[in-house]
Amino acid sequence: MKKFSVIIALIALVALVSLSGCGKKQATLYIFNWSDYIDTDLLREFEKKYNCKIKYSTFDSNENMLTKVKSSTQSFDLIFPSGDHVSILRELDMLEELDKTKLTNYGNLDTSLLKKAESFDPNNAFAIPYAWGLTGLMYNKQFVPQEIVASNGWNILGDSFFDGKNKITMLDDAREVIGAALIYSGFSVNDASPEALKAAHDVLKIWDRNITQFDSDSYKNELQDGTTWLAQAYNGDALQQMATNKDLEFILPKEGAAMWMDNIVMLKSSQNKELSYQFIDFLLDAENAKRNSDYTMYPTPNEAAMRLMGEDFINNKLINPDDEYLEKCYMIDYLGEAARSFDQIYEDIKMN
């Protein structure tokens, strides 16, 4: 009889636990994004709102992201590739086609930027534009005199002032490194012709005398302590550092700059598609996207959010250059097989 009452009590307890929801396993959303590229308060708020956990990891280059996504046993739900890598992931058939009816805030996106995004994602079928930016040069004015940067051009990377000092870094990104040399030589960042690539290769051999490493993350700290004096840098990352260190400056070189758009995509293998849609929609909310842009210092393709941004942000020419400058900038496009020639030059420069 005693045994019978214990069993009844156990059944009642199990029923109570499942009715109250306490026994429900919290869903976990796996997100893989660039470093320093989200307001982490938003992650905590999303967890609270949707009673879930976010496992958030970061990468510092598209190439590293792709290697990890292709090889990892850990399957991510959402990743944030640049446009050219959206095309690569599409070709690999790794992306989930998005059902926009699940995104109540999709209409906040700027239609002219959605049109631009069609160059790497026809019909905007797989990618939600997240942020865009430009690549320039960041330096510490404690170490680099004004007359060295006065030319305001990419040639600063080859200035003899830096000879033998080992104080310059460039991004760990073949398209960005060769792109800078292409622009300096008067070509588009997407020009894969032998003539353009030879010119860029020759310029890079000169710049390389001063370059200590190809790195997309640690330069941010190294510029603060003088380990690095000058670095190729993404504009928002530079502005984040400049907000806390008055010795740091950023320039958009006079010849023009590489432009890119990063995106949110859902992997086909995602185990949490509904929660992934909820997260994308949460980021597309105008107020959340505004907060995110204020934090990351990158402009958002969210038109409704841009209308909420303060004047300091809108009028900052390092974030929002005027049309005359933007005409000299080139969006990094997907090049297919031609990208191999970029990789070969990049490897040659890194090895020698």
Binding site for ligand SPD (CB under 6 A): 34-37, 82, 173, 175-176, 234, 237, 260, 262, 332
Give the residue closest to ligand SPD by C-beta.
34
- Whole-angstrom Cα distance, residue 114 to residue 97? 16
139 closest CA partner among 205, 222, 60, 207: 222
Question: Which residues lie below 8 Å from residue 193, measured CB to CB, with a gap of 6+?
Answer: 187
Handedness of CA 244, 246, 248, 254 (dihedral sign): positive
**Maximum alpha-carbon separation in the chain:** 94
Least spacing, CB of residue 128 vs ligand SPD, in Å: 15
Handedness of CA 291, 294, 298, 303 (dihedral sign): positive
Helix (H) or strand (E) holding 28: strand 28-34
Least spacing, CB of residue 262 vs ligand SPD, in Å: 5
Least spacing, CB of residue 7 vs ligand SPD, in Å: 57
Q: Encoding tokens for residue 96?
A: 């989930």
Least spacing, CB of residue 37 vs ligand SPD, in Å: 4
The amino acid occupying position 241 is Q
Least spacing, CB of residue 199 vs ligand SPD, in Å: 21
- Whole-angstrom Cα distance, residue 318 to residue 299? 11
Q: Encoding tokens for residue 302?
A: 């969210």
182 closest CA partner among 194, 200, 170: 200
Least spacing, CB of residue 320 vs ligand SPD, in Å: 17
Q: Are 87 and 120 in contact (CB under 8 A)?
A: yes
Beta bridge partners of 169: 213, 231
Helix (H) or strand (E) holding 281: helix 273-284
Beta bridge partners of 170: 214
Nearer to ligand SPD, 167 or 220 (CB): 220
Least spacing, CB of residue 216 vs ligand SPD, in Å: 8
